[in-house]
Amino acid sequence: MSEVSLLKQALRSVVAGQVTAARDPYRPGWHLAPPVGLLNDPNGFVQHNGRYHLFYQWNPLACAHGAKFWGHWSSADLLHWRHEPLALAPAQEYESHGCYSGSAVVDNGQLTLIYTGNVKYPDGSRTAFQCLARENERGEFDKTGPVLDLPAGYTGHVRDPKVWQHDGQWHMVLGAQDLSLQGKVLLLRSADLLAWETLGEIAGSGLNGLGEFGYMWECPDLFSITGSDVLICCPQGLAAQSDRYLNTFQSGYFVGQLDYATGQFSHGDFHELDLGFEFYAPQTTPTDDGRRLLIGWMGIPDGDEFYQPTIEQGWLHIMTCPRELTLENGKIIQRPARELQRLRGEEQVWQGIAQDAPVWDITRAEVTIGTEQPFSADLGGNMTLAWDGEWLRLMRKNRRSGEPEQRIWRGALRHLTLLCDSSSVEIFINDGDAVMSSRYFPALPARLTFSGDGQIALRHWSLTDCVLE
CATH number of the domain that residue 134 is part of: 2.115.10.20
Q: Among 382, 369, 351, 387, which residue's Cα sits nearest to residue 431? A: 369
Contact 110, 132 (CB under 8 A): no
Residue 148 CA to residue 170 CA, distance in Å, equals 14
Dihedral sign from CA coordinates of 26, 293, 42, 134: positive
Kindly list the averaged pLDDT for each block of 10 residues, start to end, along the chain of length 469.
92 96 98 98 97 98 95 98 97 97 97 98 96 96 97 98 97 98 98 97 96 97 97 97 94 98 95 98 98 98 93 98 98 98 98 98 98 97 97 97 97 98 98 98 97 98 94
- 376 and 289 part of one domain: no
| Distance in angstroms (rounded) separating the CA atoms of residues 420 and 406 | 18
Tell me the C-alpha distance between 133 and 368, whole Å: 43
In sequence order, which residues have a C-beta less than 8 Å from that of residue 174 and are 6 or more positions away?
A: 130, 158, 159, 160, 161, 185, 186, 188, 220
The pLDDT, as a whole number, for residue 8 is 95
Q: Which of 369, 402, 376 is nearest to 391 (CA)?
A: 376
For the entire predicted model, the pTM comes to 0.97
The number of angstroms, rounded, from the C-alpha of 103 to the middle of its chain's C-alpha atoms is: 13
User: Is the preceding peptide bond at 28 cis, omega within 30 degrees of 0?
Assistant: no
Instruction: Say what the pLDDT of residue 457 is.
Output: 98
**Are 322 and 345 found together in one domain?**
no
Contact (Cβ atoms closer than 8 angstroms) between residue 383 and residue 395? yes
- Shared domain check, 291 and 265: yes
Report how far residue 341's alpha carbon sits from residue 370's, in angstroms, rounded to the nearest whole number: 19
Catalytic residue chosen out of the listed positions 24, 41, 274, 465: 41
Q: CATH number of the domain that 373 lies in?
A: 2.60.120.560
- Identify whether 160 is a catalytic site residue: no
Of the candidates 306, 336, 366, which is a domain's last residue? 336
Q: Please give the pLDDT value at position 302.
A: 85
pLDDT at site 271: 98
C-alpha torsion angle, residues 207, 44, 287, 277 (rounded to 10): -70
**List of E strands, 49-182:** 51-59, 69-75, 80-83, 99-107, 110-120, 126-135, 141-148, 154-166, 169-178
What confidence score (pLDDT) does residue 383 get?
Answer: 98
The per-residue pLDDT for 360 is 97
- Indicate if 41 and 141 belong to the same structural domain: yes
State whether 386 and 451 are in the same domain: yes
- Total domains in the chain come to 2
**Which of these three, 301, 336, 371, is where a domain ends?**
336
In this structure, are 288 and 392 located in the same domain? no
Do 376 and 318 belong to one domain?
Answer: no
Cβ proximity of 323 and 295 under 8 Å: yes
Q: Do 330 and 350 belong to one domain? A: no
Same domain, 320 and 344: no
Examine the domain organization and report whether 343 and 301 are in the same domain: no
How far is 30 from 298, CA to CA, in rounded Å? 14
The pLDDT value recorded for residue 318 is: 98
One domain for residues 268 and 241: yes
- From 336, 354, 387, the end of a domain falls on 336
Range of the domain at 63: 3-336
195 and 326 fall within a common domain: yes
Written as one letter, the residue type at 335 is R
